[in-house]
Chain A
Amino acid sequence: EAQVTQNPRYLITVTGKKLTVTCSQNMNHEYMSWYRQDPGLGLRQIYYSMNVEVTDKGDVPEGYKVSRKEKRNFPLILESPSPNQTSLYFCASSLSIISSSGGRGNEQFFGPGTRLTVL
C-alpha cells in the first residue's frame, strides 16, 4: 500500500530535550516536505527536499533541522524544542515540482500527523 508514515504520532516533551520525528514514504517520490498546522494559521511549510541531499527552508524553518540521506526518509529534528513549537506536524511527499518558474506542482500525499506538545 502506497503511504507516508510518521512516528511518533503523539509526543509530550519538555523544553530543550532534543527529539526527532521520522517520516518515510514508499512511493519513490523525490519531493518531501514538513508542515506544521496551527489554529487560524493553516499549514505552513517548514522544510522541503527536492531529492537526496537536497533540502531547503520553507516559510517557518527556525528551530528545526532536516536531513535527506535516503530517498524514502526525511526526519524532522528539533534540537532544543520550545513551547512555541507545540503543534500538529505533517510530513508529505510528491513527485517533484515540475517547474519552479511556472509554479507547476504535483499532488502531495500526507502522513497521519504528529501531535507534539512541548512543556
Chain B
Amino acid sequence: RKEVEQDPGPFNVPEGATVAFNCTYSNSASQSFFWYRQDCRKEPKLLMSVYSSGNEDGRFTAQLNRASQYISLLIRDSKLSDSATYLCVVPRSGTYKYIFGTGTRLKVLA
C-alpha cells in the first residue's frame, strides 16, 4: 500500500457542481495533513491545512477520518478557475520528511 494515495482522475464536473475527492494515508500516527493546489507544472500552493477533524475555508472543506485513514476535500459551487491538480501531503511520522500523493486532477467545465 502506498503511504499516500489519491485517485488521479480526471474528475470532470460542470460549473456549480459539488465535487469531493479523497486521499488515503497508511500511517495511523500522522497528525497533520495538507491539501495543495497545483496548476499545470507550476509550484504547488497551499489550499488547506488539517490538524484535527477538519477545516473549512469558503467553498472548500477538508475532513479527516482517522478511523479509515483518509482525508477528503470537498469543493462546492465549482468555478472554472478551480481546474487544477490537488495534491495531498502528509509528514512521514518518525521522520522529518513529507510524502506527496500523485494528485487528483479536476476539470470544471462550462
Contact = CB atoms under 8 A, between A and B. Distances in A.
Interface of A: 31, 33, 35, 40-45, 48, 50, 56, 58-59, 88, 90, 97, 99-113, 115
Contacts of A110: 43-45
Nearest to A115: B41
Q: At the interface, is chain B mostly helix, strand, loop or mixed?
A: loop
B86 to A, nearest CB: 12
A113 B43 contact: yes
Interface residues of B, number: 30
B22 interface: no
Interface of B: 27, 29-32, 34, 41-46, 49, 51, 87, 89-103
A103 B92 contact: yes
A108 B91 contact: no
A7 to B, nearest CB: 14
Contacts of A111: 43
Given A103-B92, A104-B31, 20 more contacts: A31-B96, A35-B100, A43-B87, A43-B100, A45-B99, A56-B96, A90-B43, A97-B91, A100-B94, A100-B96, A102-B31, A103-B27, A103-B30, A103-B31, A103-B90, A107-B34, A108-B34, A108-B98, A110-B43, A113-B42
B6 to A, nearest CB: 9
B44 A103 contact: no
A49 to B, nearest CB: 9
27 contacts: A31-B96, A41-B102, A42-B87, A43-B44, A44-B100, A48-B96, A48-B97, A56-B96, A58-B97, A59-B97, A90-B43, A90-B44, A100-B94, A100-B95, A101-B29, A102-B93, A103-B32, A104-B31, A104-B51, A105-B34, A105-B98, A106-B32, A107-B34, A107-B46, A108-B89, A110-B45, A112-B43
